[in-house]
Each structure stands twice: as structure tokens, then as C-alpha cells.
Structure 1
Amino acid sequence: MMIDPTRPPATKAGRGPALSPFGLLPFGPLVAAALAATPASGQAAEDGTTAVELAPMTVTARRAEEGAKDVPFGLSVTTGEEIEARRLQTIEDVLRATPGVSVNSSGGPNLYNVSIRGVGALYQMSMDDASVVLNIDGTALTPHYSGLGTLDVERVEVLKGPQGTLFGGNGAAGAINVTTRRPTRELEGYLRGEYGQENQHLVEGAVGGPLTENLSGRVALRSSGSDLWVDDLKTGDPLSKPTDLAFRGSLLWEDFDGTSIFATAERQQVKELTNLLVLMPYRDPPVNDLTPGLFDDNEKTMERYALEIAHDFRDMRLTSTTSVARSDFTGLVAYDRLIQQAMGRGGEYWIVDTSEETVLVQDVRLSSLPEAPVFWVAGINLHHGDRSYDTPRNTYGTGSAVERDFTTRRYAVYGEATVPVAPDWKLTAGLRQAWEEKTYDAVYHGGGMATPDARSLDDAYTTGRIGLSWAVTPETTLHLLASRGYDPGGFSDYSNQPADSVPYKAAVNRSIEAGFKTLSADGRFELAGAVFFNDVKNNHLLSYDPNTYVTNAVNADTRSQGAEIDGTLRLENGLTLSAGLTFIDARIRSDLIGLGAGDVQSGNDVPDVPRWAGRFSVGWVHDLPVRLGSLPQPALNIRADYTHVGARSADPQNSFDLGAYDEIDLHLGVMSGGGELYLWGDNLLDETRDLYGYFSAPLTAYGAPARGRTVGVGFAWQF
């Protein structure tokens, strides 16, 4: 996904040979120079008219406003308009639509392993174990919030490469920066409704505008749901009927002398969404053989309250962000009779997990003003997290219950600057020093006894980056960046006895990136590319044995290298073309012998990372040669998106591959004024897409298929 400069700032099979990214480095300047020679379409045309120049995209990828082209590392941006047109209803949907980003989930509301450029926990060990930071309006969260909806979102920025310098621990692979729409001084809003196959339904709207001379407000609401795409074998009905209700309210006070106060409150509640464990190969349609109604009590509630106070001085901006995020989760995970029988066991087996979490984040920073000749930011940050992860009961009762409590205390100081060092050359340097304390307290029940266990972990670590950028022309920039990322150690959420709760080690990522960015003078053509190399020491691997249900925290070294390119071309006739292609070779570099799920060999592929992934999109807005009475001129609005994801290994043991797939999505609408009626189609090729896969020796594999082909209708109205 490339940036959209039209929006103003406010508003084993099938695998090719390994490729060394350093072999591409000599071609970077040649490509950039060729791109720089592209004629700017903002000049006078043959008929004497002047093409309209589009404003460049402003992002906050470095905690302060700057142009996307000026960010000295790989960056993909998905705008709110694209999110709505492509029906990317959750952050997970956006990530899956971004080449170079991999998501391992079981379709449930709590488990999301996110990797960028082949870097990420091989399996998530705990709710705060992540290699990718999720940041929403300045609030740093962990990826288990990736199920949050994209309600009233202005843009989603995917920051590639280590981001620990400005976003702290858990950013060794990158960061996801979500910006929601703020209130404005004009009355505005929208309403959208959809209905499609499998009872997919959505009603969403937002309204905002001035309340007083200095105060503006905005309210957004979404209600959605569907039938689950996996059926219950006993009844033939959907296994559950998930619903999602989300709300956000915000107030913005401005004194017009450089001071603003932005307050946000939001809440999202998801019911009956379940983790899917489906025997492979899947039946058509996919099924589970379970007791009906087993997931009726599954529920996850996420809340966030934030207060941002900012003041512009003559040469800098002071920003204070205070946020509290809460989540409350109850989920039942079930092995159905089909899986149990394939493993030589009896009937269904299920466990119930519950979790409560509260995270307080305080960030205070000074930064340069937009358009300043020198970009800089410096600040202090504290993060306090308290959570539980309990297993109160399973199929056999409460006799083996486990109660687990965790705390995290993290403090940091940070800074980064990009300064001119010569004509057309800039130096970027950033550093962060963090201190962290974690505790773990648990009680294990079994055999009529309760066994307590308590541990603590202290750590201090440094992250940072240094790089050079060269403005070859006013339109084209080359950059070279070296970074150090860090994922702190911690305690597994899934320990069932004291021996399982030994803390896992911290992971360190040493990364190198070389790339280019070009943006034409009129903003209609843009292209970015990079080659990269990541060397991760002590990456996090959760070893799980499905035969005994025992988990262990393990560390393993990994390495990834690859290349990516992404571009967009906007033509004068309303046609927009965009494409992206990513190659990643990600390998495990450690031998791990004696794991319950099987041995891991050095040289194995990192799971869930395809060698090749790409996309191609076509959008066309064209006036229709008809009139609809007194209504404004109608226009055809067409968007087609093609996505390819190559084969990738299902697990660290490389037991089997998840198949490659191709997906085509379509949006076909007629617009008039601020309204649109449209048809939508998802996964029109009806290809099976695996959300994850796992293997249980000797012959059993299970996973979760994503939803198949569905179509529907919708309407949207903006004012």
C-alpha cells in the first residue's frame, strides 16, 4: 500500500531460490535516477492548462509530523478511503493486505502473531510478547489489540524495520501507527451500511463539528456481525454468530495560539468470536464436530481513554499523551471430535481462558515543528501494565485450574534527529535507553493441591539507529539505515507447572536497510523500494505439544533478507494504478532438539513468511453520460484488488506448507454528490486461505481457513 497524497493532513512447494539483497544494492541509484527523470505532470499541458498538484501525505511515523517521503526507512500507508473501499474492517485486515507483513491468527479475538520482513515471534508466548508495536493515536499497545476495528480511521502506517528508538520494547520488527479522524471546525460526517452473504451486516456512522468557538467534537459508532464460516457438524448451522459493537467519542479544544487538548474514549466489544481448530484437509464447507452453543460466552471487551495536550512554541512543539487501555477476555478453545479421533483420543476437549489487562502509558516529548529544516524529537516514556491470564476450567472441571498474574514496569528516555550534513545529504541518528521490571505470580491446582510460583525479571537495554539519506533530485531520495531492535524477555501465559514458567530471553535484531523513495512534483506518481537484512538473536518460540497440551518457552536465532517495491500512478482520467511486490527469505539459524512438537533444524524456514507476496490494484472514477433528475452528476466508481501470497511453512519444524493463494476483491459503485450505492465481492476466486497451521505427530494437521467467496451490497453517504 502506498501513500495517498490526495488527502489533506487533517482529514516448501512453489518456492524460488534464495536471493541476497546486497546483490541489488548497485541498482538502487540507477533505478532512482531513472525515476527522477520522470517528467513532472504539474507543468503546462499541450492545451495550455496546468495540471493540479496533489498535496504530499503527512505522517507521524516518528512521533511528529513530516512528509512520508522524508521518513528515512520503509513505510506503507493505507488511507481511510482505501480501508473503506476495500472493506478492511479490522487492523488485522489491513496488515494482511500489506505485502511484507504476515499475520498468524486462529480467527479468534486474542491471538495475533505479526511479523514484518520475516521478523517476529515464531509463536507468541504471551499477550505482551511481540516484535511489532501497535500505536493508536500515541497509545502504545500490544498486537492482541489487532482485532480492533478500523472505525473512523484516517490512516494506518506500517513502519518497517526496528522501531524501538521511538516506540520502545516490542518493536524489533516494526510498528503499526494508527491515526483516527479528529474533530474539525466544520460539520461533517458519514453513514455506511452493508449486507452480504453469510449474514454479513454492518452499520457505521460518524458525525463531528464545532461545539463552541474553541471546542469541536466527533462521535463514531459501528455495529457489525456475521455467521461464522465454519459449521457445526451436528446441526449444520454456523458454529457461532459473532457480533462487534464499537464506539469512539473525541473532543478537541484549541485556543488558536498554539495550544490544543485532544480527549478520546473508545470501546469495542466482540462476542462469540472463537479460535478455530479445524482438521486438515478441510471439508467443504469446513466443519467442527462440537457441542452446539459451546462458544456462546466467548467475549472480548477493549477500552481506551487518552488525553493529548500540545503547545507550539516558536521553534518546537510540546506534547503530553496520557492513556489507559483495558481489555477483558473470556475465550473457549476447543479440539473437536474430528481432531481428537485423528490423534487417537476420545471426544471433544476444550479449555477456557480468561484475562484482564490494564495498561497506563505516559509520554512527554518535545519535537520540531512541521516543515522545520531539522527534524528532531526527544522525550520520556513510562509504561505500567497489570494483567492476568487464567485457565479456570476445562472439559474435566476445575481440578487443574491455573491462576497467573503479571506486571510490567517500563521507563525510557529517547531522542532522534535528522540533520543536514552536506548539500543534499542528511544524517539520521536516534537512541533510546529503557529500564524494565516484570513479575509473575501463579497458583497451579492439581491433585487436590495448590502450588504457588513467583518470579521476577529486571532488564536495561538500548535501541537505536543511524543512517544517511541523499536527495538525488528534489523528487528522489536514497537512504541507508542500520538499526538495533529489542524484544524484552518475559514469562509465558501458558505455563501449567512451575517448570514451564522459566523466563524466556530477550531478542535482539540487528538490521540494515537500503532504499529509495520518489514522488513526482505534482504528487501523481510515487515509487519506493528497499533491500533489507535482519539478524535476530534469541527470537521467541513457543513450543506446543498438541498430544500433551504442554507449552514451553524457547529461544531461537533467525535471519531474514529480501527486497520490496511499491508504487502508485494517478492519471488525469480518474484512473489510479498501484502495485507492490515483496521477496523475503527468512530462516531459523538454531537447532532445537527434543521439543514436544518435534525437532527444529537450522536452515528451516521461518513459519508464516511467504517467499513472494504482491498486490495490484486498479481504481477508476468516471462520470456517467446520464443525469438522474436534479441529482448531481453521477459517476462510476470501480476498484479491483488482486493479492498473491506464496506458499509458506506452517510451523518451525517445517512439517508442511500452507498453500499459496490468489485473491480478487471488487467494489463497483455509482456515486452522486455525497452518496454511493455499490456492490462488493470478497475472495471472488473462492480460494482457501489458511489463517495458520499446526502439525501433531505422526499424521495430524489442523489449522483455520479464512472466509470463502462472499458478495453483498452497500451504501455510503458523506456530508
Structure 2
Amino acid sequence: MTSRNLLLASAAGLALFASPAFADTAADAATGVDTGADQVDADSPSRGDVIIVTARRRQETAQEVPLAISVIRGDSIEATGNFNVVKLQQLAPTLQVYTSNPRNTSVNIRGLGVPFGLTSDGFEQGVGIYVDDVYNSRVAAATFDFLDVDQVEVLRGPQGTLYGKNTTAGAINITTNQPTFDFEGRAELTAGNLNYKQGKAAISGPLSETVAARIAVATTSRRGVYYNTRTQRYINEQDNLGLRGQLLFKPSEDLSITLSGDYSQQDPEGVGTVFVRTGLTQRALNRQYDALVASINAANPGRNYAVPSRNPYDRLTDLDSNLNAGNKIGGASLKVKWDLGAGTLTSISAWRFWDWKPENDRDFTGLSIVAKSQNPSQQNQYSQEFRYNYTSDKVDFVVGLFGFKQRIDTQGTEQQGADASRWSLTGAQAADASILNGLTATNTQFLKSESVALYGQVSYKLTPELTIQPGVRVNYDKKEGFYQRVVTNGAGQVISCSPAPAAGTVLAAQCGVYQPQSTSPSVSDWNFSYDLNVNYKVAPDVLVYATYAKSFKTVGINQNGLPLTTANVPDLSASTVKPESVNHFEIGLKTQFWDRKATFNLSAFLTDIKDFQATVNGGQFGTVRGYLANAEKVRSQGIEADLKIRTSDRFTAYANAAYTDAKYKKFTNAPCPPELSGGTSQAAGATPDYSQPGVPGALSPRACDISGQGLPGVSKYAFSYGAEYNIPVNLLDKEGQIYLGVDGNYRSDWNSNASPSRYTKVEGYALTNFRAGFRGDGFDVFGWVRNAFDVNYLELLQVAPGNVGLIAGQPGDQRTWGGTLKFSF
């Protein structure tokens, strides 16, 4: 038995056998997303639950909060199998999460947040992720499995006043279960097909009259979903371990001090892709994917390379580079809450680390083109927040001070392989493998980031029904970066590309693939943001609200290298990126009716962003994989509706729907999609000609105007639903309920390229999940099937570098099934 299994078995055994008494399991806990029904009569559970949230940095019921919010309970997460941020989008329609690996993960709300594509450390995310009030500065550092989670709040729309510059699109507020002075525990074991195994355990209780502790552990493993014919192994597996410990010191009713520590480790073989399709670019026909493969085969008699399948749903690949997605995340925090009578003072001190060790196959093929691609990173961040909350009959307010410091170090290596010359060069050079074979770019970079903010928000009741809520935040940010790329040839000799080498030489060919660079961008900025909310209680269970927010995302720096000018030198003007300026308008309705058995919430929004920070890619192999640029204006607008009903203790259902229209209102200097790339550039200053997309040999525009086109990664229509019905029974001398549950989600088509392409359109899909089981006092046993109808769908498409027309992707999971056993006391 491995040390991981021993640890889990010990915790699970303690949780199972420490006490024979079991606590109640809420009958509706597994029905997905709660909209915040407010309970009036505790003896009448059919009248709804009290959903307590901290969206406004204080505890209140969700229906009282005048903003669009989805509350997803821990039991709902477990029952529906959505055990991390990536999976969470199946329950919250306006949340989009796309990932090619933990490092390159985009989390967006209403189509806004993180620029879609390869991630850079030099900018802020637009969806803030908080765990127990601690900010996780990089999306990658929040891709851990949910561990002992109480609930997740998805706050939609800018949250800049209370949550900061990183929340122009919204925030994800994760709350874990806290230490208790009553002895309690829980354990959960799950097994399924694909050799899926998951175990969770938590135990909490007093160490003395003033000290309580809680410890939780979770482990997940699953066989990979793609089979690599080259290595004869499954890849994109799950191999996760998580630990969390908390110590609560409560010397009096007025003071509590909580020390928390957590550690998460992911060590899968992955992440890889499969062949999806090819699409013609404007590169010469003999320089596109199929012709290049034929040329390599002709030069290597007997090789006869071909992808193992052109059907992505065969889930076969033949990637030849090492694959790894080693991810270590953890940290510690100290939270002090002091009730001063007139208000509560809170201090949150935190340190977090993130250690990322990847290995990738960046040519997406079994050919040795990019033989090595890895950019390991190490992050340390420190944050301190002081917050004072005051509550009275007429006035509630919160004021706070937030400080943040971060450093990220990255050591990158990218190396060309034996097939690179024939793939990337022409003429006699294409036949000389030694020109590019072993050509290596070694990157060294670091980022230092500092931020400080002062904020406040007031809720003032003009009348018992009418409340105004203004808020302000002042931010100062400073960023310093360093990037250096050293290039060596196959003999290990350092090469220089300045002055520019003569055309047609070996050095010119090498500099066209990897070019040395050294930049040290630095930038600082002050910003003032504010918002105003007006809300009115039309009736005891009907709240209407209107919000205006002026928010921002701070300045960015290009941390992964710079694009080249027409003179083939780094474009220093692209070193920094302007801050985003956000204007947001929203109106909403929050209601309960049918004796509070039903909750219906509705919101409509319009968000305009000036100088939207977008990730773009020039298509080169290694000159720069991706960099930040500003789109002049982006708009996201839409309508969201959330409904939950609980007709009785026997039946609960929910449905959530979203319409999102997210577009580039103006982006006149965007990178061109693959069908308008790869050819000889059109004349400088000429009006771009878009009339020959996908025509080999046609002239390519130097840039494209994509104004009016949709933002990447955004489905216009999204829908999720769930229902559960139960019958009380006696089974095996146990009183309980037999229940049947269903949940599902639908997303319409969306585009997977920063500049929308006809080759990267991802078709819409609908997924359906079922579960059935028996639960009683302190136990729950159920079977489940996810993607029950075995729908074929794609989670992501990627354009291979070099403008060769290759499109790779990641199919979503096929049908999976299994069973879960849960105990609590």
C-alpha cells in the first residue's frame, strides 16, 4: 500500500469508527445550484433553506444580496462529480473554464476574465479565486481538487470594490468547513470505470475547551482517457492528492484565531492532444500539413508516418515528447476575528506557493519537430488584509486595507528535433536536418509584483425597503519583469541574430525559428474604481436592484518574449499593456413565491471594456508563443435566469439559463486566423485583403480587423438543470430514502481561437448525468453515470504553430460510471 493510501485509510478509519451516531443528510443537498431560498419556519423544511453567503464580506442570506450569485453546496459538488474549478462550469452556465493543462487554464464569467490562449504571468486574471478569504493570484494555482468544501459562491459581474483589481468579470469564493467544538467526521469512497478511485475523509473536534482542530485528506486517481500509441500508455490521467489542516483558538466568544495549512499535488502523465482536422492556410500547398508529412516520409523510406486516427473520438494519439503536468500547490494562513461590539475586525495573513513542472509536445504530432517544450515555474505570494465590518439597523459598512507581494521564476527550454528542418525550411535547407536539429532556446524569466489597496462599501437604508450601496477602491500596482532567451545550435554554440544575418544562410534559418531576446519591462499605476447599487424590496420576498460599476484590470507586461517587427527585431513597444477600463451596468430581480417553495432570480447586464487585454499569437514556432495586446473595445451583454423549486421533502429541482453576447466591438489590429495566415505578407500600408481565406499561396494580411466578431470561448446559450425525487423506505433494517437524481448542461457552439476561425469552431453539446441511491441517518450509498448518452464533444481546439493547417484538440470524457459510499457522524 502506498503512503498516500495509508494516509487516506487512517483518516477514513478514524472517521468511520470514532462514533456510531450519525448526523442527518439534507435531502436536497445533491440538486446542484442553490439560488438562496430564505427559510422562515425551521420546522417546515419544505419552505426552503437558509443559504448564508459572504459575497459582501459579511454573512447574510443569498436572497438579500443585490447581485447575481450562484451558490453551490459541498454536497452538491460531491453528488454531481464536479470536484474542481474546471468541472464547476457544468453547474453554473455563465462560468466558462477551458484548460490545455493546469498552467494554461482560462476561467471566465460572461465571456470575460482571462485572455483565451497560452497564459502569461504578466497580467491579472479577471475572475478572482478566493479560498477562505485568501486570494489565489494565478488560475493555475487554483486547479486543485475541492477538499472539504462547505460551499462555492460564483459572483457574476465586476467585484472590484470588495475583491480588487482582479475581478472585472466576477469572483469565485470558496469556503471550506471549519473546525468545530462538537466531534464530527465524514468519509467518502468512490470507484468507477477507467480505474477511477477517489477517497475523502475529514475529522473535526475539540482539543481543549478553547482549541479545536480539523484535518481533511482527499485522493483521486483515474486511468488516462487518450491512448498514446507511441509510448503504449494512456495519458491525461488523474493522480491527485490533497491535505488540509486547521487549528482554531477561541479564548472567548469575541475572539477567534484560525491557523490553516494546505497542500495539493497533481502528478499525471499529460497533458496531450489528439488529431482533430486540417484546414488550408495561405502557406504554399507543399508547405502544409499533409504535403509536409508526405515529404518527410519520402525522405525516410520505410517510415510511412501517419497519425493513428483522424477521428478524434477514437482518443488515439502518438505524441513523441515527454509529457508531464506536475503541479504542487499549498500555503498557510492566519485569520483573526475580533468582535469589538460595534463591529468586527478581521485580519487575514497568508502565504501561498505554486510549483509547476511541465513537459509538453508543442507540435501536436508524433514527428520530432519540437522535441522538447517545458517551462517550469515557481511562485511565492504573500498577502495581508485588514477588514472592519459594522452592522446596524440603518447602516452597514466595510472598510479594508489589502497588500500583496508576488514573485514568479520560470526556466524554459524549447528544442527543435530531427524533422524540424523539413517542416519549417524550404529548398536545399529543408533536406539538411542539422540546421534545426538540436536548436535550443533557453529562457530565464522572473516577475515581481506588488499591490496595495484601500477600499470601502456602505449600505444605507433610506427607508426599510430602499437601500443605496456605494463603494470605492484605490489601487497601486507595480510590476517588474525580466526575460532572457539564449539560443544555441545543435553543436551547443550560442548564436546571435544581430545584426540580421544574410537571407538564405543557415544562421538566418535558425534565427527565423528562435531569436535571442532580453527585456526588462517595468511599470506602475494608480487606479480608482467605484460602484453604486440601489435596491428596493417591493415585497417581503421580492427584491429589485440596479448596479453601475467602474472597474479596471491593472497594467500588464509581456513576460514570455516580444513579437518581432518587420525588421525581424523585438518590438519593444509591446513590452507593456494598457490597463483595462470597465463600465458595467446591471439590473436584477430576486424573488421567492409559492410559500417560499420556489425561488426565481433574473439579471440583465451590459459590460463595456476599453483596452481589453487579449492574448495573441503570431504563429511562429518559438520567436514568441503568445503575447498580450490591447483590443480597443469589447462588449458583453446578456440575460441570466435561475429557478429552484422544492415542492416537498420528496422533490427538488433547479434550472439555470444564460444568454451571453460577447464581442470585440473594435479590434482593428488583431492577429489573423489561420485561414488568413502563412503566406507572403501583403504590402506594408496596404488595405488588408481578406478575400482569399484558405487559398494556398495567397498574400496574407499583416493584421486583421475582427471588430464585431465573437470573443473566444463563449457560448451564446448555456443551460443547466437538475432534479431529485425520493421515497422513504426501510431497507436492510435501515430507515432512509431511495432517491433518483438527474442533472445536465448544454452549451451552444463557441470558437477556440483568439481571432475566430472556421477551423476552431467547437460545436455545441449537451451532457446528462444520472444517480440513484439509498441514504439515511449518516450514510449515503449511490451509483452514478456521467455523460450517460456517451456524447462526443470537444473541450478545446488548438492551432498548431507554423501555419501548417493542423488543428489538435481535447475530446471530453466519454461515458463514465461508478458508485459512492459516504458516512458521517
Going from structure 1 to structure 2, the CA distance change for 1:627 and 1:337 (only over 3 Å counts) comes to closer
Between stretches 440-449 and 304-313, larger displacement belongs to 440-449
Q: Secondary structure at the match of 1:481?
A: strand
Query: 2:131 is matched with which residue?
Result: 136
Structure 1 residue 241 displacement after superposition: 3.7
TM-score where L is the length of structure 1: 0.88
Partner residue, 2:94: 100
Corresponding letter in the other structure for 1:291: D
Is structure 2 residue 684 aligned with structure 1 residue 655? Answer: no
Deviates more, 1:158-167 or 1:390-399: 390-399
- Decide whether the 8 Å contact of 1:91 with 1:147 is kept in 2: yes
State whether residues 230 and 287 of structure 1, in contact with CA within 8 Å, keep that contact through their aligned partners in structure 2.
Answer: yes
> What one-letter code is carried by the residue in structure 2 that aligns with 1:130?
Q
1:273 Cα deviation from its structure 2 partner = 5.0
* C-alpha distance in structure 2 between counterparts of 1:485 and 1:156, whole Å: 24
Which residue number in structure 2 is paired with residue 583 of structure 1?
A: 659
1:667 correspondence with 2:661: no
The match for 1:481 is: 547
Distance of 2:235 and 2:142 partners within structure 1: 23
How far is 1:256 from its partner?
3.2
1:552 aligns to 2:546 (yes or no) = no
Q: State the distance in 1 between where 2:401 and 2:48 align.
A: 36
Q: Aligned residue for 1:633?
A: 735
By how many angstroms is 1:517 displaced? 0.6
Return the alpha-carbon distance in structure 2 between the equivalents of residues 242 and 395 of structure 1. 29
Distance in 2 of aligned mates of 1:285 and 1:186: 52
1:527 corresponds to which letter in structure 2? F
> Hey, what's the Cα distance between the residues in 2 that align with 1:50 and 1:175?
33
Q: Return the offset for 1:513.
A: 0.3
Residue 263 of structure 1 is matched in structure 2 by 259
Instruction: Give me the whole-angstrom Cα distance separating, in 2, the residues matched to 1:712 and 1:502.
Output: 50
CA 1:659/1:51 → structure 2, altered by over 3 Å: closer, same or farther? closer
In structure 1, the partner of 2:314 is 285
Query: Does the CA contact (< 8 Å) of 1:55 and 1:523 recur in 2?
Result: no
Q: After TM superposition, give the deviation of residue 699 of structure 1 in Å.
A: 3.4
Following superposition, the deviation at residue 488 of structure 1 comes to 1.2
CA shift digits 1:511-538 (9 cap, x unpaired):
1000011135965321111000010111
TM-score, with normalisation over the residues of structure 2?
A: 0.77
Residue 649 of structure 1 deviates from its aligned partner by 1.8
Match of 1:499 among 571, 576, 588: 571
* 1:417-464 deviation per Cα after TM superposition (whole angstroms, max 9, x unaligned): 111113411001000000010000122202516754212101001122
Deviations 1:76-110 (A, max 9, x none): 1101110111111112211343111111211x222
The question of 1:399 aligning with 2:395 is answered no
Instruction: Give 1:712's aligned residue.
Output: 818
Q: Distance in 2 between matches of 1:43 and 1:239?
A: 52
Cα distance change of structure 1 residues 384 and 55 upon mapping to structure 2, 3 Å threshold = same
| d(CA) in 2 for partners of 1:252, 1:41 | 29
* Residue 129 (structure 1) shift: 2.8
Please name the residue that 1:363 is paired with. 385
Could you tell me how far apart the structure 2 residues matched to 1:372 and 1:356 are?
48
Aligned to 1:157: 153
CA RMSD of aligned residues (A): 2.6
1:386 pairs with 2:407? yes
* Greater mean deviation of Cα atoms: 250-259 or 152-161: 250-259
Question: Contact conserved, 1:304 with 1:326, CA < 8 A, in 2?
Answer: yes
| Equivalent-residue separation in structure 1 for 2:545 and 2:766 (angstroms) | 33
Provide the secondary structure at the position in 2 that maps to 1:400. Answer: strand
Distance in 1 between residues matched to 2:552 and 2:446, nearest whole Å: 24
Aligned twin of 1:429: 470
- Contact kept, 8 Å, 2:522 with 2:557, in 1: the verdict is no
How far off its partner does 1:166 sit?
0.9
Evaluate the alpha carbon distance shift between residue 401 and residue 82 of structure 1 in structure 2; reply closer, same or farther with a 3 A threshold: same
Contact kept, 8 Å, 1:427 with 1:468, in 2: the verdict is yes
Q: For residues 510-529 of structure 1, what are the structure 2 equivalents within 5 Å?
A: 510-520=583-593, 523-529=596-602
Q: Distance in 2 between matches of 1:373 and 1:85?
A: 41
Distance in 2 between the 1:619 and 1:100 partners? 23
Q: CA deviation at 1:467?
A: 1.7
**Count of paired positions:** 670
1:603 counterpart (681, 701, 708):
708
Alignment correspondent of 2:784: 680
Letter in 2 for 1:667: R
Superposition map of 1:54-203 within 5 A: 54-106=48-100, 108-123=101-116, 125-127=119-121, 128-142=123-137, 143-203=139-199
* Corresponding residue number in structure 2 for 1:19: none
Paired residue secondary structure (1:618): strand
Q: Is the 8 A contact 2:46 2:648 kept in 1?
A: no
Rg (Cα) greater in structure: 2
The structure with the largest strand share of the pair is: 1
The amino acid across from 1:384 in the alignment is: K
Give yes or no for contact 1:119–1:534 (8 Å, CA) kept in 2.
no
Which AA in structure 2 matches 1:232? Answer: N
Deviation at 1:70, TM superposition (A): 1.7
Amino acid at match of 2:376: T
Distance 1:535 1:503 in 2: 22
Q: Read off the aligned partner of 1:383 and give its amino acid letter.
A: F
Residue identity in the other structure for 1:713: G
Equivalent-residue separation in structure 1 for 2:87 and 2:131 (angstroms): 16
- 8 Å contact kept, 2:402–2:454: yes
Quote the residue 1:21 is aligned against. none
Superposed counterparts of 1:229-308, under 5 Å? 229-239=225-235, 241-272=237-268, 274-281=270-277, 282-291=311-320, 294-295=322-323, 297-308=324-335
Contact 1:92 1:146 in 2 (8 A): no
Specify the code of the residue in structure 1 equivalent to 2:135. A
Task: Give 1:495 deviation, angstroms.
Answer: 1.6
Task: Name the CA shift for 1:154/1:483 in 2 (closer, same or farther; >3 Å).
Answer: same
Partners in 1 of 2:124 and 2:360 — Cα distance? 20
Letter in 1 for 2:600: L
Structure 1: gaps spanning 5 or more residues: 8-34, 341-345
Q: Is the 8 A contact 1:320 1:362 kept in 2?
A: yes
Q: Note if 1:220 corresponds to 2:216.
A: yes
Identify which of 647, 672, 677 aligns with 1:571.
647
> How far apart in 2 are the matches of 1:443 and 1:335?
20
Q: Please say if residues 363 and 370 of structure 2, whose CA atoms lie closer than 8 Å, have aligned partners that are also in contact.
A: yes
Task: Return 5+ residue gaps in structure 2 as ranges.
Answer: 1-25, 30-34, 278-310, 418-437, 489-493, 496-515, 564-569, 678-703
On the 8 A contact 1:249/1:265 being kept in 2, the answer is: yes
1:52 to partner: Cα distance: 5.9
Kept after mapping to 2: 8 A contact 1:378/1:416: yes
- How far residue 395 of structure 1 moved from its aligned partner, in angstroms, is 4.7
Structure 1: how far apart are the matches of 2:344 and 2:236?
49
Partner of 1:207: 203
Report the secondary structure of 1:589's partner residue.
Answer: strand
- Matched-pair contact (CA < 8 Å) for 2:272–2:319: no
Paired position in structure 1 for 2:612: 539
Pair 338,392 (structure 1): closer, same or farther in 2 beyond 3 Å:
closer
State the one-letter code of the partner of 1:208: S
Q: How does 1:6-17 map to 2 (within 5 A)?
A: none
Deviation at 1:594, TM superposition (A): 6.5
Q: Structure 1: how far apart are the matches of 2:59 and 2:604?
A: 26
Structure 1 residues 399 and 180: alpha-carbon distance in aligned structure 2, compared to 1, 3 A threshold: same
